[in-house]
Each structure stands twice: as structure tokens, then as C-alpha cells.
Chain A
Amino acid sequence: MADERRPKQCSLVLPTESMKVMAESVGVGQLQEECCVALSEEVSYRIKEIAQDALKFMHHGKRRKLTTNDIDHALKLKNVEPLYGFQSQEFIPFRFASGGGRELHFYEEKEVDLSDIINTPLPRVPLDVSLKAHWLSIEGVQPAIPENPPPVSKEQQKVESTEPLKAVKPGQEEEGPVQGKGQGVTSAESKGKEKSISRLKPRSTHELSVEQQLYYKEITEACVGSCEAKRAEALQSIATDPGLYQMLPRFSTFISEGVRVNVVQNNLALLIYLMRMVKALMDNPTLYLEKYLHELIPAVVTCIVSKQLCLRPDMDNHWALRDFAARLMAQICKTFSTTNNNIQSRITKTFTKSLLDDKTQWTTRYGSIAGLAELGPDVIKTLILPRLSIEGARIKAVVEGPVISNIDKIGADHVQSLLLKHCASVIAKTRPLPDNVDQYRADYGYLGSMLCSHVVKARAQAALQAQQVNRTTLTITQPRPTLTLSQGVSTGSGPRTPNIIKVPSSLTLPVQTLVSTRPVTPAQPSPPATKYIVMSTSTAAATSPQVISLTSSRSSSPITSTAPSSTSTLQPLVKVEHTGQSVTTPGAGGSRTLQKYIVVSLPSAVSSEVKASSLSSPSTAVDSTVKADRTELPGASTHSSH
């Protein structure tokens, strides 16, 4: 008994190097070895003492985790000033570094910019303590409600379903507290007996109590009934209730039979409801569905690839059902696919087969593509991308050929948009940069040109996301130059250059508030309704007179200047680039335009800007702004170096 814990008792002492490092950190160099030894022993002893006291506070705080507060209180007991301000977000704030033969653990203390803290919006107020009552037990029986833990844990369900008939070998105890049996068998006879019992007894009870039967009836009726509110409630119950384990076989049969019947009757609504039930079952954290996949998977796959799912294929949106079911299928694969059951590979094979078949209808084709696409970018890359040109040709035949049937046309359209949607993001990630339309056309055939524009969009999207991730670091630096570039309507004498992008006023709301708080000179009328962001090329700047107002919080007096004097227009732009460069990754043109906007120091408006640019999607427009940027860059950077 005692031997197990023996290693714990060894008296650990801090290494003397630590003492040296600590001494150095407070300015004591060259500590003698004896001092270090003496110090480290003393320090280790004291630390242990404090830790043991802190443990008391943990116990009385009725916690399992020791906190920094416990240490503080223990220090207080010893009449030692506690460590103030040692609050850590993480449980263990130490970082490890090695190099030059030394290994170090250090506490990463980032420099905190106070203005960052001041300017970040306040976090949500944490919820107040509240009291909630539930029945833990009713006359000795624990009710199966969400507040109580599930009667049969998920792990246990998994064990049962994956090893249902685990042979009990002689000398090997049946493990697990499954039913509280198999406690250790002594004689050989009883062993045999035990074995036969465990074989004969599948152990899942199939009798439902009256309450459960009622519940089942209510839930299934609500799920396929006409009242949406009730259905939502029922689905919520399926997704959260912990006590459904026993009803799972019933639900599974209900779904599979339901799909079978309703596919024949082309009842789209019911199919959708049934798929939502599958989704809810999948979402329930207490259920382990593997045992019932043989019923559920055919039902789901039917909803993906069936030729016809509704009465009026030209009108009804059965595509959404296919998408939904395809996502479900992907989720099933992700959760349950193992090397034993090979669900994913079997499903992939099924889809691929129907995809390769020339006679496959558009609906089924759509379904199999959707099903494959949901399985992830790798599957798209290996199975869909190579077939893009073939599919493209097929679509072209329908779209540009003689009109055979409206249904085919709709089908082809949907397949096309589906392919574009899924392939674009994958291509954006894998294909090297220059997005050349001709090249795309050569590679992907009919769909090439459309793909190209989608890829460009996808790239912009990705850049935007990267931007948003960085947003916290991007917020205003201390001097906080707020700068409004506006083309005054009253002074605007020249014609608008085409490369001025108009931003809807609703998107620039923060700008307005900023401006309104600043003192505005009467000479500079700034119409609050609309703002224009100058995206001028050098030529445009020269030709069109623009009023650029720069409001800086430091000077708090707006600088107004007219455009043709290039230096003054450049001045704010310098700042633009300055703040922008430090933050964003150079590269895509989209992000260039972003940087411009950053000058205005409105991170929340950034997204709107990008939207605006991406809305004017033709790649040429983007190219031109990129060019505009590039031409301006040298001037800006040279200026900033002054």
C-alpha cells in the first residue's frame, strides 16, 4: 500500500541554478555555490510549507484546483505579504524555451498597451450566481432529466456497441461496471456459467415504461407534425435529454421506415423533418449511435442521392435537403468511421460510383458531389477536381445545347454552383497565385472562367479572415490619428474619378461619430450622410481637387488642404501605410485597399470596405486599385523616411 506512493516522498530541492538565475534577476551576481545550496534548501522548504498550507484553503474552498488565491492566503497565515496582481488567465502561465544547452521556463509577460485596454470594448458582464432546483432522485429512483447525468454513460454505450459479445476468457474477469456483475469468479463451473450468461444476455432492455412510451409517441408526432414550434421543442428534447438511450432503437427504426415510405411518396417535408431528427440524435451528447448506423446511414444516403425527393422537382428546393443530409453524412463519417467499419471509404465509393456513371441523373449527381464535397478538402482534391472538366462539358451541353427539359437545366445549374462553391476554396488554397482566366480555362474547361473569379473571391475572403484575426492588435496606437478623407460636396469641382469607391453611410457609422466629436472647422463641410474614401491614383490626385481633412487628436485642430499639392495629400497617406504595414500581410490586392482604410483607424469599418470592394467583383477593378496602390507606395515610403 505504502509502496505505491513512495516516490512522492523523496525530498526534492530546487536546483541551485535557479537560485543563481533569481539572484541575477534582482541584481546579485556571482553568488557562491554554498550560498546557493543553502538558499535552495531553505527556499524549497518554505515553498513546501506554503504549498501545504495552501492546500488547506483549497480543501475548505471545496475545490480540487489549487489557485493563486490559496497561495496568497497561505502567505498571509505566515505573515508574509501576499503576491499582488498575480492573476493568470491560464492555468500554467509558464513557457518553455531551450537553446544553447540551456533549458528555461519563463513567465511570459507581454507589454500591455494601456490604450488597448482602454479602447477594447468591455467584456460581457458575467452572469450572476443563481439557484436552480431539480430532482436528483424521486423516492430512490433518479429521473432521467438533463440536469442529471445520463443513466448509461456514452463510453459504456460505446463499449457495449463495439464489443457486444466480448468473450469472457477463463481467468479473465469481465471488466467494467456494466451491470454490476462479474465480480470475480472462483470456481471453474461458475466461470462457465458466467460465460454462458454473458453470451445469452444482450442486456439492453426492450421494454419501455409507460412514460417512455408516451414520450416516444409525443416526440415522434411532434417531429413530423405540422406545428413548427412543437417540432423545435421536440428536436431540442431529442438533442439534449440524457435518458433516451433505451428509446434509441425505436427512433432509429422510425427514421429509416419513415424515409423509406416518404421517398416513394416524394414527401419532401417529411424527409426534411426526419433528417432533422437524425441531426438531433447526433447532437445528443449522451447517445452513442454506432449500433444503429446500419439503419440511419441508408436513410441519410437516400436523402442525398435519391433521384426524386419531391413531387415537383422543378419547384421544390430539394437541393437544400441534399445539402443538409450530405453534411449529416460527413458528420457521421467523422464521428464513427474507424478502421474496422470503414464507413467513410464505403460511402466515398458509393458516391464516386454514381458520379462516374454517365447515366446518372442531375439530382443524383448533385447529391453525390455534395456528399463527397462535405467530406473535406482532401476528398474534393482527389475525387472532384480531376473531374471538373468532364462535369463542365456535361453542364455546357445542357446549358448551351438545345433545351431538353427545364428540370435538367435547373439540375445542371445547381451542380455548377455546387462545384464552384466547393472547388473554389480548395483551389484557392492549393493553386499558386496568378489567377489567370485562360489558364483556368485550360485546366478546368468550361467552368474555368467562373472558377477563376470564385477563387479570387475566396482568396479575398481568406485575407479578410486573417485580417479579422489580427484585429485586436490593429487597434489604435497612442497618438490616435483620426483622419477623415472626404470629398466635400460643396467644394467638389471636378468630376468624380471612377476609382473612388462609394461607401454606404450605414457602413461608416463609426466615422461619423468620430467626426462629430471632433471640432470641425466651418471651412470644411463634411456632409454626414455619405463619406468617400479616396483611392486615388497619382494621376487622379493631380487632376481632381479634393479636400482632405485630417483630424488628429493630438492637435485637435483639423488640417485642411486641397489635393494638388501632392506632399500634403501624401502626408496622411504616409501614416496610412505606416500603420497598415505593421499589421497586415502584404500580398493580395484586397488587403492593400484595406490598409488604406486602416488609416481612418476604424477597425470595425474595415470589413465593410472589403465588402464594398469585393462586391465590385470583376477582377479588373481590383487590379486597377492594386496598381493605384503600387504607384503611390514609393512616394509614401520615401516620405515616411524623412
Chain B
Amino acid sequence: MAAVQDAPVEADNEKEIKTETLNDAAGNHASAAGGVIPSPPVASTSSSGPAKAGGPGSEEQQTLMAVLQFLKKNNFVGAVDVLRREAGILEDSDESQGQELAASALGGAEAGDATCTLSRASSCTTSTPAVAAAPAKGARCAVVCVSAGGEDQPDVNVVLSAYSQQGDPALYQGYYSGLKKFVESVLDCHRAELSQLFYPLFVHMYLELVYNNHETEAKAFFEKFSGDQECYYQDDLRVLSGLTKKEHMKGNETLLDFRTSKFVLRISRDSYQLLKRHLQERQNNQIWNIIQEHLYIDIFDGMPRSKSQIDSMSGSLAGEAKREANKAKVFYGLLKEPEIDVPLDDEDEEGENEEGKPKKKKPKKDSMGSKSKKQDPNAPQQNRIPLPELKDSDKLDKIMYMKEATKRIRLGPESLPSICFYTFLNAYQGLTAVDFTDDSSLIAGGFADSTVRVWSVTPKKLRSVKSAADLNLIDKESDDVLERIMDEKSASESKILYGHSGPVYGVSFSPDRNYLLSCSEDGTVRLWSLQTFTCLVGYKGHNYPVWDTQFSPYGYYFISGGHDRVARLWATDHYQPLRMFAGHLADITCTQFHPNSNYVATGSADRTVRLWDILNGNCVRIFTGHKGPIHSLAFSPNGKYLASGATDGRVLLWDIGHGLMIGELKGHTDTVYSLKFSRDGEILASGSMDNTVRLWDSIKAFDDIETDDFTAATGHIHLPENSQELLLGTYMTKSTPVIHLHFTRRNLLLAAGAYNP
């Protein structure tokens, strides 16, 4: 994490500003090349970057000291204090320079770390006077200052100051339309690639105009060119359109996203050369500067991409993922199943005897066991992530699972699953989340009225454990002690769990059915016991609404993500998170554990899906291509693929190992709130706000894609338009949005939603 944040603060006096020669590499330091240039003067700045963390440290300290001296000389007492506080410089250490300073600055940065990344726009406003005061008198040098506060969410003013360069506002429209003309005139093959530039350029030019208080010009600029932008940027444009004043820029999160992250474009080398030549010929420094400062151009060798290729990958808030972002190795294989002696045949025969059927010799079914004995080369090491030990009850459950699995129906295009729909009646629009247990015996519902309700869908009623006093009276030695501890009087078909103080947005059962997680608008995640039906722990950490939470398939761990853009990994017995996954540029809307529990996927309102490694907290995959906030995720049972559904109604399929998009399923007309693969992965079911459940042929979708070395290397892929062929069935409900789907162990599809008359 870059603890040191450098950003120049420059004078309002144009003549004084140092300009920088065009430089291909992202400017690391504001070097000065003096002289008066007829073209609009430009100050180039560098924004935050991890590369600079260690680099110019001592140099910067010296400049810092210089600033301090300067301020002292001019009797800016307040500013000196503030700067000193910001930089963590002690009064007495003023005179002494160098190493001491570096140490204390680091200390300050650590403190910043501790105060956590959540300090959003509100953080660091104290630095305003220091920054503002410094250039007031026309400082002669480009000042580099250390911002102690946010390593990840840099100080607003520092960020904004990058916009203060003055160009002639009237010329912006000219610049933009000039570029437009140029792009239209280039060869077809380059046009699509270069058109990618329009949106980021448009945004940054608009923001520059707004920042420099050219409100009317900004409005005119927006009016003129906003219509040209791709329709999937509408949501962001809507935010931008409201933003017409410099004051608004403070605290606007979308704006911060644009500023703190570079918009990533992938352009072939040829196209890039074309662009560079054009801009140099035209001396179009304004645009060039924006490209330098705010865009990251990922240049690749090879054929330029086609329009459809580009469209399929674009749409995210910050452009596409850098290629190297998806290069890390992901162990997507499944863990070896623990070996359990399965008394398969005995039990089966017993069952048959009870039913009074004649005994039959069954072929031994140890295929299940032998299959899992081979170690998958793509699987992580068994103990890469420490997993909880299996209890006896877990083993029993595993045996049950295997027995059920033998009775599983093979699904396919010819044999579609039956769908059982659980309708929540009288929910009055209040149902916000649903989950089924793995064995499909319980349903939990989260409601807008802050309650969580649990239903039993089997004839077995829900019973809670007796009170402590009553438990004392029980004969602990008896065989049916587990039965005796239950309170018969409390038996009922459903239980209500009270505790949250806001709408419950996510619920998740633990695999052993002993616990239930729920997350809510009130910023907490709660762990409930399904033995006593009481709340055990409230996990506090998210200060903002928590949108989703999910138990690990092995229990013990769980993930939560919310409005604060940070996904947290927790263990049930720790009240503080074990990992914090920061990187998304907008709310984390959904979370999902990889079947091997070594990775988690998070979907976000920034229209990307990220895959995180639990071991080291790294982001190992960034998937772009959605055009709306992502609301559902599902891993295929073999762990190789990921499906994601968004508000745009599309479902995208991803190959985790290669980091590629491998399919697009169009059909839904509204947000896809639920996705699930069948137990063997042949069918993908999707449920949506448009009141339909759709079934897709996932095997065909995975097979149809042919990946050669080139596509694997570049990540450019031609998606076949085959949604209609892949769609196996559409099932309308009666005005009931489908918000959860679940395949039982025998491949019966369960769906749930609230009737919404």
C-alpha cells in the first residue's frame, strides 16, 4: 500500500507554473522545464502509485522541510502547525533533517493505516489550509507534500488540485471534436480501439472545466458530447450531469473513483502510435496530459480488437482490467474430499427392508471415493487455508450427502430439472434475502422490517434447546440425550430472529446447519444459533450497510461486503476481520466463496467482479464486462468457472484459470438476483426481477468457446452470439420476482421469491 502520497500543489499564477515536457512514462516526479511556451501552460502531476512509495523519499522530505521553512519565514503559523501535524514532524526535530523525518513520516503513515481505509471523503480536510496557503503567494516551486491520511483514498483536495491547470475553456470543445474527427478518419480497424478514448477523455475534460469554475462551458460541453457516449455509462453520466460546481466535487464518491484510479484502456501498439502521432502533430497538450495523468494505456502487440470484442469487455467504472492483473495463478481445483467409510450398502438395504422390498444385490459404489483420491493439479494444497476439522455430525452429513448424490438425476438439455417455487405470501415487498440450507431442509428469509425468519420445509419442526435450568435435569448418560435437550414446547414451523435495526440484505446458513449469518443496513453481521434461535455474535466493522454475506463451504470462515467498498473475511470465533479486501471502486454488492474455500469472489457496483486470494489477501482476478451493478455470483461445482449476473439482465461466464470471459447469456429483462449451477454443473439456473427462472446449457456454453494460445495470452475473445441456443427454458412466475435459487442434492431446483401483487 502506498503510504506516501505525493501530489503537487501549484500556483494560481500561470506564469509561475512549471511545465513538463511530454513524457511517455507516467510522470514520477514533477520535473520542471522552465520557459514560456506559447501553448497553454501545463503542469503535469503525478497521482498516487505504489511505485513511488519508496523512491523519492528523502528528496521529498527535503522539499517538505523547504516548505516548512518558507512558511515559517512568512509567518504562516497555522499552516506550519498543520503541515507539521500532517507530516508528523516534531517541533524539536525541525532543525534536524533527513533520516529522522523519514522515520516519523512512516509512523504517520502507519497511523493513517490504523485509522482505516473507511475514512472516505471526510478524511483529511485539515490539510486544506496547508495546501491552499502554500501557493497563495506564488510559490516558486512545484510543491510535493506528503499526505498522511489515506493511502488508498487520497485526500480530496490533493486529488482535485490536479485539475487546476488552466486551459482555455472555450477550446475544450474544439479539442474533443478534433479528436473525434481524427478517430473517424482513421482506418476502420483502429477506429473501434481509439473510440475507447472518448469516454474517459470526456469525463476528465468535463471535470477539469467544472473544477476551474467554467460552469457554463462545462454544461455546454456535457450537453454537446454526452450523447456520444456508450449507453452503459449512463449511470455515471447521470452523476456527472448533476455535478456542475467545484464545491460539489468534494465528497462525491464517483468523482473520487475517477480521480483515484486510472482508467485502463487496452489498445494495440499500432493504434497507439497513430494516436500519439496525431496528438504530437497537433500540439494537443490538453488531451495528451489527460492521457498521461488519468489514463493507463495497456499496449499490446497484435491485431487491433474489433468493436464487439471491446464492447464485451468494457463497461466498468475504471475501464478494463490490466492484463497483468489477471496473470496470477489461481488454484481453482477442488480440495480432496476426506475419506470417510461409507456404509452405503448397509443403510440402503436397511431402508429397503423397511419398505418391505426384496433384497437386491447392488453393485458397489466406490466410484465416489476413488474419484476424489487423485489430487487435482490445479487444486490448492490441502492445508493452504486451515480448515476446521470434521466433527462426527459432519461426517454423518457427508454420508447423507453421498447417499443422496447416488440418487441424483443427471440433468441435461433433454432432462430439465423440476422447479419447486417457494412463494413468500404477505411479505408486502419486504423480502430482501433468502437462503436454503445445503440439504434443503431450512429456508431463511431476511426482511426489510429487520427480522430474519427461519422456516422448516420438512415435516420436522424447529425446536430450540431447553433452558439451562431444564438442561440440568436431563440424564446426560442416556442414548437419546440429543433428543432430550430439545424443548418440545418450542416446536414450530418457523422462528423469528430479532436483533438487527435495519433491513436485512443477506442471509447465509452454515454448512452444518447450526448457524445462520445475516447482514443488515445497520452495518453489522450477526451470527445466530439455530439450536437456541438467539444471536451469538454481532460482527461490527462495516460502518455502512452490509449488502451481502456468505459462509465458506467448509464453515468457520465467512465473507461480508458492503457500501464501504471493502470485503472482509471473518472467522466465526474472531470479532475482528481476518482479511480486508480493498480495491473495488464502489459498493460491494455480492459475495461468494470458491468451492475450495481458498478464494472469494466479490461483485460490485463498479461493474467489476474481483477474485481474492484468502491466503494473502491479493486480488487475483478482475473481470470487466458488465454494464451494471452486479447482483449475483455463482461458481461452477468444479471450481473452474464463475457466473455473474447484473442489473442489465445479462449473465456472464468467466474462466477463472485463464481469466477470460467465455460467455454471455442474454435473455433476462431485469436484474438477475440469483444464479446457481446444478450439482453436476450441467445447467445454470438464473432468477431475475423480471419474474422468470431461466435455465441455460452451461456445458455447451463452456464447450463452444475455443481458446487458442493467442486469446489466452491477450484475453481477447470472440463471443459467439448463442444465447438463444443455450437457453433451455423460461418459466414465468405470477408477479413474483425470483430472488434465490438452490439445487437440492438430487438436482431438484428450488426457487424463492415474494409474491408482489
Contacts and interface: CB of A to CB of B under 8 A. Distances in A.
Contact of A62 (B248, B425, B737): B737
Contacts of B733: 136, 148-149
Interface stretch (B266-274, B440-448, B706-714): B440-448
A135 B419 contact: yes
B231 A2 contact: yes
Given A129-B427, A136-B733, A148-B732, A60 B248 contact: no
A95 interface: no
A322 to B, nearest CB: 37
Interface string B728-744: 11011110010100000
B670 to A, nearest CB: 8
A110 interface: no
B598 interface: no
A49 B420 CA distance: 41
Contact of B226 (A6, A129, A136): A6
Interface string A41-68: 1101100110010001101111111010
14 contacts: A9-B237, A41-B245, A62-B739, A64-B689, A67-B429, A73-B521, A129-B447, A130-B426, A131-B422, A131-B443, A132-B422, A134-B423, A140-B417, A149-B732
Given A129-B453, A131-B443, A49 B242 contact: yes
Interface string B606-642: 0000000000000000000000010100000000000
B455 A2 contact: no
A69 interface: yes
A148 B728 CA distance: 19
B252 interface: yes
B427 A147 contact: no
A562 to B, nearest CB: 58
Interface of A is mostly: mixed
A133 B420 contact: yes
B418 A2 contact: no
A129 B447 CA distance: 10
B419 A137 contact: yes
Contacts of A44: 242
The 6 A-B residue pairs whose C-beta atoms are closest, nearest first, are: A140-B416, A48-B242, A136-B419, A136-B421, A137-B419, A127-B426
B502 interface: yes
Contact of A142 (B245, B426, B455, B731): B731
Interface string B408-421: 00000001111111
B731 A45 contact: no
A114 interface: no
B457 A133 contact: yes
B558 to A, nearest CB: 19
B602 interface: no
A426 B484 CA distance: 74
Contacts of B545: 57, 60, 73, 77
A86 B302 CA distance: 60
B602 to A, nearest CB: 15
Contacts of A1: 230-231
B592 interface: no
B508 interface: no
Contact of B416 (A57, A130, A137): A137
Interface string B225-264: 0111111001001110111110110001000000000000
Interface string B261-293: 000000000000000000000000000000000
Contact of B448 (A10, A69, A133, A142): A69
Given A128-B426, A149-B732, A137 B418 contact: yes
A57 B504 CA distance: 11
Given A59-B629, A147-B421, A148-B733, A2 B227 contact: yes
A36 to B, nearest CB: 15
A67 B429 CA distance: 10
A129 B428 CA distance: 9
Given A2-B228, A131-B443, A11 B219 contact: yes
A134 B421 contact: yes
Contacts of A139: 415-418
A5 interface: yes
Interface of B: 219, 222-223, 226-231, 234, 237-239, 241-245, 247-248, 252, 415-432, 443, 445, 447-448, 453, 455, 457, 494, 502-503, 505, 521, 544-545, 547, 563, 587, 589, 605, 629, 631, 647, 671, 673, 689, 693, 695, 728-729, 731-734, 737, 739, 751
Interface in A113-152: 126-140, 142, 147-149
Contact of B547 (A60, A64, A131, A137): A60
B502 A59 contact: no
Contacts of A69: 448, 503
Contacts of A134: 420-421, 423
Interface string A144-162: 0001110000000000000
A359 interface: no
A8 interface: yes
A52 B253 CA distance: 12
B748 to A, nearest CB: 10
A3 interface: yes
Nearest to A78: B251
A45 B243 contact: yes
Q: Counting chain A CB atoms within 10 Å of each CB, which of B252, B425, B728 scores highest?
A: B425
Given A60-B505, A62-B737, A134-B421, A9 B226 contact: yes
Nearest to A4: B231
Given A60-B545, A73-B521, 18 more contacts: A1-B231, A2-B231, A9-B227, A11-B219, A41-B245, A44-B242, A59-B631, A61-B505, A73-B545, A131-B425, A131-B455, A131-B457, A132-B423, A136-B419, A136-B751, A137-B729, A140-B728, A148-B734
Contacts of B647: 59
Nearest to A38: B245
Contacts of A60: 432, 503, 505, 545, 547, 589
Given A69-B448, A131-B422, A139-B415, A61 B432 contact: yes
Nearest to B750: A133
B230 A45 contact: no
Contacts of B222: 9, 11
